[in-house]
Structure 1
Amino acid sequence: MKKTFKMYVNVVFILSVSIALFSMAFNFYLVRKVNSYVTYSESLNKKYSKLQNELESTLKLLNFYLDVQRISELIEQFDTQYSKYTITDIAYSIVEESAKNNLDPYLMLAIIKTESSFNYKSVSRKGAIGLMQLLPDTAYYISEKVDDLFVENKKEIFDPVTNIRLGINYYNYLLSKFNGNEEVAIAAYNLGPRNIYKYLGRGRRIPKFYYYKVMQNYAELTAQIKS
């Protein structure tokens, strides 16, 4: 009887140990599987994120060159020659500088049309120069604020690409100065920020004729893209 009981105890013990070992092994197997799945899942997520970033970059680049093409076609209507530059060079400069400043390139195009009708040799009665009609003092001031854009004389301001870069950065400067208010920034581009502050300081309405003219040109230009 004792011998039988002892055998029973041994069998139970062996079974218990076996079950415990099996349970440990199974748990270890599950942990490895789970870890393997997590690692694989993380790897897939990284690959997906990388692919998504590459796709977004590609789409951004495609949209960039699509804007260059569209703006080139719009400028061609004005039958203007730009000496050492092609119309594509001019369009590229508008799109590139607008992208750097997170601005709508078609709005910048509308300002150019309003200011000079794409005549880079244009000079106003007040001495404003080029495509974006910049006063020399304004151009010098803005050039000091922008990396790799330093001008020292009026001849450099006449350069179409330099003028575009200066003008777009000047508009962005005004936009920042007036807390992102597009309407006021556009008005200031024409009237000058000092005059705008005078209007505001005296509680007077800011003249909107220039703003409306720019927006009319903007609507006409963008309508041609949609048609």
Structure 2
Amino acid sequence: GTAYYYRALAYRDLGNYEAALKDFSTFTANYSAHPRWGDAWGEKAFVEWYNLGSYSVAAKTLLDFVDGVPNSDLSADYLMSAARIYERDAKYEEALQVWARVANEYPGSEQASTAVFLMGVIYFRNNDYASALDSFNRSLSLALQVEEKARAYLWLGKAQQKLGNAQAAMDAWREGQNRDPGGYYSERARELLIEQAPFRPPTSSNLTPDLEAERRDADSWVRLTFNLPPETDLSGLDVLASDGRVIRGTELWELGLYEDARLEFESLRSELESNRDAVGSYRLISYLLDLGLYRSAIFAARQVLTMAGLDEHTESMMAPPYFSHVRYGLYYSELVIPDAQTNGFDPLFIFSVMRQESLFEGFIQSGAGARGLMQIVPSTGGQIVSQLGWPVNYDENDLYRPDVSVAFGTHYLANNLKLLDGNQYAALAAYNGGPGNALEWKRLSGEDPDLFLETVRFEETRNYIRNIFEIYVIYKRLYGTAQ
């Protein structure tokens, strides 16, 4: 049976979808003992809905699997996928029925709370706020993770608000803000409590922190935390300066071989982490910052905090400001600040997007071909250069240039923001998942940003928006002087 399975995958990758389905069908009908048998049902359903647009057929494929092997580890996931397929096809009643099956047949599963939550979102979108309230209450009772609890409370508040129960809404948001501090749903609940729109910029910001002074304070903290003699000099690499990886990495960096240089420094950083060498890790931070290898510097700062016992986000923010200003830095500020202001953005918002996109590593390329600090794909870059008329003699490799990447990224975000009527959730969704998809999600959700997020059908894009929201909250707390 192995040959059928892998030939089906090959046909799929070649775009011969009918042949792929034929082999998947032969495989699923005859080789139930094969270790890939369960996966093949999901692969088959994906081809049916994604490649061929046969939504109902795909949903039935997944439901047939669940009906045949209800005790499979895949069954709850496949029910969730079937419901999402129905929802994509605007068959909301069928989606509701399948999501209900997840909660009823697999109440202890990781998917149960989310299934009932998504039922609530459909009810809310259809203005059935009483049914939405019931679903969000049940989602809360099934929640296993603090994020799920915060999510349920946020939406309980929104449903109560729609039902005219202002006090109950406030009570729900107060509960929600404390469930997952720093997490998207808790931070958004905190905003709803004070009637604040998402991504609201601070009244003013300090974008010129004194890292040198903060480093001196951090030196004292490191000596105290890790029981070092008071006279210990932490200003240089010390013995690390003679490490071959530092020597090779520095030379490679100066030659412009950035990826090779990164591998050398990452090898050293990982070794220091494995050896729980907090002092070596701390020394490395400053050297990497001076070099411009910001991603590795951020990881080195994080591992020092972990070795100090500050694992949780809220704990890590209690360390000296130097560590937070390294981890959430204002890198490339000479480019970001003017480009952000030219395009009407708070610079802290653009820093947040850049951190999510590349972690300030300008020489990287994603699997999808996106390049540079703001991860622009060449096709989008070609469109932007025709709009800006810059740079002269543009080449796709220019996307690795920080000045080009920042200018293109902020311009593209601004274009999407205009296209989507100033909705920043939708603009971010367009940046990550495409403008056409963002327009459709906006059509379905109206002007409610919270509803927009839950209407986004790509998990990657939902996570993308949430992550940038969380990062922006941190940037505002670090650099914003007033709200």
Q: TM-score range by the shorter chain?
A: 0.5 to 0.7
Give the C-alpha shift of residue 117 in structure 1. 0.3
1:102 aligned counterpart, secondary structure? coil
Match of 1:215 among 452, 460, 469: 469
Match of 1:81 among 289, 292, 304: 292
Aligned pairs for 1:10-89 within 5 A: 67=207, 69-70=208-209, 79=289, 81=292
Match of 1:111 among 353, 358, 379: 353
| CA–CA separation in structure 1 for the residues paired with 2:365 and 2:340 | 24
> Which whole-Å deviations, capped at 9, do the CAs of 1:110-150 have from their partners, x for residues lacking one?
00000000000111110000100000110111121125445
Greater relative contact order (Cα < 8 A, sep 6+):
1
Kept after mapping to 2: 8 A contact 1:139/1:151: no
Kept after mapping to 1: 8 A contact 2:426/2:439: no
| Residue type at the aligned position of 1:111 | V
The match for 2:456 is 206
The match for 1:132 is 374
| CA–CA separation in structure 1 for the residues paired with 2:358 and 2:396 | 17
Give the C-alpha shift of residue 222 in structure 1. 2.1
| CA–CA separation in structure 2 for the residues paired with 1:188 and 1:215 | 15
The match for 2:434 is 192
Give the C-alpha shift of residue 176 in structure 1. 0.6
When normalised by structure 1's length, the TM-score is 0.59
In terms of mean alpha carbon deviation, does 109-118 or 211-220 score higher? 211-220
Can you give the 5+ residue segments of structure 1 that lack an aligned partner in the other structure? Answer: 1-62
Match of 1:98 among 327, 340, 344: 340
| CA–CA separation in structure 1 for the residues paired with 2:479 and 2:416 | 28
| CA–CA separation in structure 1 for the residues paired with 2:416 and 2:363 | 24
> Which whole-Å deviations, capped at 9, do the CAs of 1:8-40 have from their partners, x for residues lacking one?
xxxxxxxxxxxxxxxxxxxxxxxxxxxxxxxxx
The match for 1:161 is 403
Aligned pairs for 1:163-178 within 5 A: 163-178=405-420
Can you give the 5+ residue segments of structure 2 that lack an aligned partner in the other structure? Answer: 1-203, 213-284, 294-328, 446-451
| Residue type at the aligned position of 1:206 | V
Kept after mapping to 2: 8 A contact 1:106/1:222: yes
1:99 aligned counterpart, secondary structure? helix
Give the C-alpha shift of residue 197 in structure 1. 3.3
When normalised by structure 2's length, the TM-score is 0.29
| CA–CA separation in structure 1 for the residues paired with 2:390 and 2:210 | 25
Q: Describe the shift of the 1:103–1:116 C-alpha distance in structure 2 as closer, same or farther (beyond 3 A).
A: same
Give the C-alpha shift of residue 152 in structure 1. 2.6
Match of 2:425 among 183, 188, 195: 183
Kept after mapping to 1: 8 A contact 2:426/2:442: no
2:332 aligned counterpart, secondary structure? helix
1:118 aligned counterpart, secondary structure? coil
Match of 1:121 among 348, 357, 363: 363
Give the C-alpha shift of residue 161 in structure 1. 1.2
What is the CA RMSD across the aligned residues, in angstroms?
3.3
How many residue pairs end up in the alignment?
A: 157
| Residue type at the aligned position of 1:144 | S
| CA–CA separation in structure 1 for the residues paired with 2:210 and 2:435 | 29
